[in-house]
Structure 1
Amino acid sequence: MARSVRPRRLFALRSKLARRLTFGAAAGLGLLCVLTLASATLTLHALGSSWAAINAGLPIFAGMWSLLAVLAGLASGGLAGILLSAPPRAEGIRLPRRAAEDLFALLDNTAVRLGIEPVRQVFVTDHMNAHVAQRPRWGCVGPLQTCLMIGLPLAHSLSPAQFGAVLAHELAHLSAQRLGWGGVGAHLRAWWMRTVDRAADRFPWLEVPLERMTQRYCIAMLRLARIEEFEADALAASLVGRGLMGDALVEVGLKARFLERDFWPQVDAHGARRRRPRLRPYRDLALGVEAGFTRTVSEHAVALEEAGGERFALHPSLHQRLSALGLRCRVPEGEAVSAADRYLAPLLPSLAWVFDCAWWHAASENRRQRRSRARYEMVRED
């Protein structure tokens, strides 16, 4: 039986920082709740006073109370609309357990070793990443429900062992940071950030003051996110081994760079040239990665240099993560079988068809927009 591991605290600051940010988020949300209730109470009081003034034959006072009721009602509605910002639902294609039993067995085994509940909701997306999300059952409130989103390009880019290391990293977030009150705190912090963003979107004149007020909070959130990544890396490495964890990080970074810089620009250029593109990028993704990706030391050096230049990235740079694991960057050995072939083989044609249809639709929309802009430029020049 595989041995279990316990999350170890790498940074004493992490718990303190998470606690302080959670209290700040709870205070901000509580203040908005009080303001919303106060505005709603004032609305009801103004409506009652307006009706009393009408019965007393005081039309001027009735009009003033009615105006106050309208203003207070608008304020309460606006505040409620800002406050009730539910987290986004899981995106992608829901993966039934019976269709990917080996994948769910891997997830169950990893969850047992981490001491967490099994992840029962898995979605396949068209992104080059994996992500664990927790969402309250009833939008903003309710028991937290966990789901895992796995990118099809990611599965095509990694070996089964590397893929297992990435999944261990994602589930390590739950074990180290999202159990019990830790999950509630993460939900409150995310809720507060969504509330601030929505307030800035709905009331543009508040954008600059809100940015100044929340600047230190956002920097602290960025700091916490990076600490949590180091912690999840260390916990996952204790399950799968430091070497395999390092290989997975390097492989993800290099394949993501290849897809972003080489594969997708060529695909988009093909779609832009043809009225009805025949290319099916997600069906041919495995072949594209295998044929176009080169395993050279120079590629690794470039990737390390570029990853270290993102100042406000949520994740630490690849160089920092490898250094924290005590590893040097090395070229992982390629394998003939990918994680997609190992865990999703029966579903690959159906998944590729859905994502290809979405790509065709997006390419068609882009062509229509370009034609519209071109016609607009011609009319404006005339």
Structure 2
Amino acid sequence: MRSSCRGRSRLDVVHARLARRLTVTALAGFVTIVLAVAGGVGVVIWALQAGWHAEDASGRTLYWLGAAVMTLGVCHLLVLALVPAPQPQGIPLPRGVAGALHYRIDEVARRLGVPPLDGVWITDEMNAAVLQRPRFGCFGRIEYHLMIGLPLAHCLSRRQFLAVLAHEFGHLVVQRRALGAFGAHLRAWWLRLADQIADYHPLLESWLDRRFYRYTLGMLRMTRLEEFAADAIAARVVGRRLLGEALIEVSAKDRFLREDYWPKVMAQCSSAPEPRFRPFREMGLGVSAGFNAHSVLNAGFRGGEEEAASLHPTPAERLRALRVPACEAVPPERSAAIHYLSALLPRLAWAFDRHWWSVTGRNWRRSYRRARREGRSPTDRA
């Protein structure tokens, strides 16, 4: 891999300016809540002291009642404010059982100058992400957790997978601007606080929407810029052609899984009380055997109204920013899942298949019984 370049582009400057503005807004909200809690605690202490020294019983009762009400208000404010960051999801992957994968992850992190990871997790999603969270949910040292989707690993070669890792670590590099990792956590916390208030007080939801509109729009704009900035950082490490190749594979095969593989899995519910095969166990074979690169690729990178209106950059926009053509077919290679996780694939697939059936099984059986009643089952027709 290439060494990273430390130069800052105009995109970096615009993103950093927007990140600083949003961080200042979230920091002002944080300071306001801290002052409100401190002021509430001060009022409680004053009311308790005033009640203790009150000359008549009615005055003492009034002061202590006020202290109790203020205590409840402070506690409620703390409940609203102490919104823990999301927990990492998936199956933890210790170093001892996937040493080669951890070595490559550490190498990419070192080249980009990001902190060592606190955990690596395998998920059942077609995605990869780095989660930053305080150790104790709301406070403590910022931890870094990498979540890797098993479907994603099935869909990419080893080199493409490393390009995706470089992109995800590029997000960390970008997000550490404006008060660093604490700033990124603070900006996300301010949005979680709005959601928490709306959950506890539904009548305030419309007011919160208006109050947080500009902040939310700024966060969405920053997310869009962050994708381009992370792509640029990753391209300096692995090369823009490899990163574009990985982006094409992810986009095309994600569409294949959503529009072809999973619909065919679920179509069995009209003729079988249980699936004839386990979807996660057979996913690697399904991707390699069923994916038609040319047809899915050409269908997946045509611009449309939905893409133009999206606040998140489309694959076509990211490829244009990388100056990589979208029409290059990639010859099949051994997947990253087989390269890095071959010994673990049976256990991972078993766990994800079991979880998938626990979520889907009831609706599956209900669809099967309905199909038999309506006479759509091939057995009934025979």
TM range (shorter): 0.7 to 0.9
Alpha-carbon distance in 2 for matches of 1:92, 1:237: 28
1:341 corresponds to: 338
Secondary structure of the corresponding residue to residue 293 of structure 2: coil
Q: What is residue 327 of structure 2 aligned with on the other side? A: 330
Contact 2:248 2:297 in 1 (8 A): no
AA partner of residue 160 (structure 1) = R
Deviation at 1:360, TM superposition (A): 1.2
Q: What is the TM-score with the length of structure 2 in the denominator? A: 0.87
Q: Equivalent residue for 1:380?
A: none
- Within a 5 Å distance, the mapping from 1:105-124 to structure 2 comes to 105-124=103-122
Write out aligned runs for 1:282-361 (5 A).
282-297=280-295, 299-305=297-303, 309=307, 311-313=309-311, 315-361=312-358
1:142 match: secondary structure = coil
What is the distance in 2 between the residues matched to 1:132 and 1:198?
A: 23
Unaligned runs of 5+ in 1: 372-382
Report the 3-state secondary structure (helix = DSSP H, G, I; strand = E; otherwise coil) of the residue aligned with 1:21.
Answer: helix
Number of corresponding residues: 366
Match of 1:58 in 2: 57
Which segment is superposed worse, 249-258 or 33-42? 33-42
* Change in 2 beyond 3 A, CA 1:36/1:250: same
For residue 229 of structure 1, what is the aligned residue in structure 2?
Answer: 227
Alignment match, 1:16 = 17
**Distance change >3 Å, CA 131–CA 68, structure 1 → 2:** same
Identity of aligned residues (%): 43
Cα shift readout 1:253-291 (whole Å, capped 9, x = no counterpart): 111112122222333343576554453111111122223
Aligned to 1:140: 138
Spell out the pairing of 1:1-382 with structure 2 (5 A cutoff): 3-10=2-9, 11=11, 12-50=13-51, 56-59=55-58, 61-178=59-176, 181-270=179-268, 274-297=272-295, 299-305=297-303, 309=307, 311-313=309-311, 315-366=312-363
Q: CA deviation at 1:294?
A: 1.1
- 2:301, 2:326 within 8 Å by CA — same for their partners in 1? no
- Whichever residue aligns with residue 324 of structure 1, its letter is A
Counterpart CA distance in 1 for 2:32 and 2:147 is 34
Structure 1 301/367 Cα, relative in aligned 2: closer, same or farther at 3 Å? closer
TM-aligned CA distance change 1:178 to 1:239, over 3 Å: same
Q: Aligned-pair distance for 1:138? A: 2.3
TM-score normalized by the length of structure 1: 0.87
Q: Measure the CA separation in 1 of the matches of 2:94 and 2:85.
A: 23
Tell me the distance in 2 between the aligned counterparts of 1:103 and 1:5: 21
CA 57–40 in structure 1, closer or farther in 2 if over 3 Å, else same: same
By how many angstroms is 1:123 displaced? 0.5
| Cα distance between partner residues in 2 of 1:370 and 1:171 | 43
Mean alpha-carbon deviation: is it higher for 331-340 or for 268-277? 268-277
1:293-347 Cα offsets, whole Å, 9 max, x none, are: 211256434444369527454x311111011111221243132411100111100
